[in-house]
Structure formats: structure tokens, C-alpha cells
A = this chain, B = another copy of it.
Amino acid sequence: MIRDIEPLTVEAFGPFGDVIEATPSAQNFSINYGNTHRFHDLAKVDVNNGGGRAGISIFRSTPLPMPISIRLLERHPLSSQAFFPLSPHPYLVVVAPPGDLDEKAIRVFLVQPGQGVNYHPGTWHHFCLALEAESDFLVVDRIGQGNNCDEFLLKTPFSIELQ
């Protein structure tokens, strides 16, 4: 089974989280005496549950072989998790709504360089799926104690094949 691949848009990704992108539709204004333009507060960072705090990390992700086999999703019940690409390569985002995992509701997004995503707490997602080459991502997530990662093995694994 091959899933449809959608472009990432704010509307399509809304049930899962935020799109982090410097677009005119984002709240934006000039600061620093006109020398900087601030695209403001682009993601709902939610990391303080259970004594957590925000951390900044870098993920270095290796592309999986094509076709990409999707067998497992994860979720962070206590917190959001934001990814922003630091490498000039697209990547894939595979998500499903929070709650009991409905495999029929899984969506696959092709994300372009310059676009980040922030998974809201509980959103099911696949781990980082770099494309084309090893890719770095800046990650803002929760640092703290307690179980904050559930994994779910799909009953119906599927493949993604990019043209």
C-alpha cells in the first residue's frame, strides 16, 4: 500500500500541530531599527508538564532506503516537539491525530527546506524522515522526567515511494 503524499500547508497540518515558516500570513513586524523582520511566535511550545522545561537539540537524521517502510509511530503525551530543517533538503512528516491511533487517519506530508513543524502533545508521528542526504534539524522539545514517549506498532504497515 502506497500512501498519498501531500504538500505541507497550515490548513492541512492544523489537526497535528504548527507549521513554522516565515510567510506573510504569519504575525510579523519590524524590529531592531528596521534591520530585522520578526516572524513571531510561530509554534505553540508546550513543554512544562510534569516539571519539564524547553531544550534545544540537533537531530542528525539518515535517510531510510526507498520505498520507505512505515511500521511504527510515536507520540509525546506530555509535550510538543518542534523540528526545523538546517539542511537544504526536503523531508517527510507522517502523522495521525491524538487519541487512540486510527491507522486510516495517517497522513503523509512532503516538507520543503524553510518549513518546520511542531507536533502538538499527543500527535502521533513517525521519527525524523530525512530525504536525499543526511540532514540536521533543530529540535525544541521537553527535557524532563517521566515517560513521554509511547510507541505503536502499526497493524497495517505501509510504504512511501517518492518519484
Chain A interface residues (CB < 8 Å from chain B): 20-22, 31-33, 35-43, 45, 47-48, 53-62, 64, 82, 84, 86, 114, 116, 118, 127-128, 136, 138-140, 143
Within 8 Å CB of A58, what residues of B?
A: 20-22, 38-39, 42
- Give the docked Cα–Cα distance between A47 and B45 (Å): 12
- Give the docked Cα–Cα distance between A21 and B56 (Å): 10
Within 8 Å CB of A22, what residues of B?
A: 58, 60, 136
| Oligomer copy total | 2
Given A36-B127, A36-B128, A128-B36: A54 and B60 within 8 A (CB)? no
By beta carbon, the residue of chain B nearest A60 is: B37
- Give the docked Cα–Cα distance between A106 and B5 (Å): 51
Within 8 Å CB of A55, what residues of B?
A: 40-43, 45
A41 lies within 8 A of B56 (CB): yes
B128 lies within 8 A of A32 (CB): yes
A84 lies within 8 A of B138 (CB): yes
B42 lies within 8 A of A60 (CB): no
Separation in Å of the A30 CB from the closest CB of chain B? 10
Given A22-B136, A41-B143, A136-B22: A56 and B82 within 8 A (CB)? yes
Within 8 Å CB of A45, what residues of B?
A: 53-56
Within 8 Å CB of A43, what residues of B?
A: 55-56
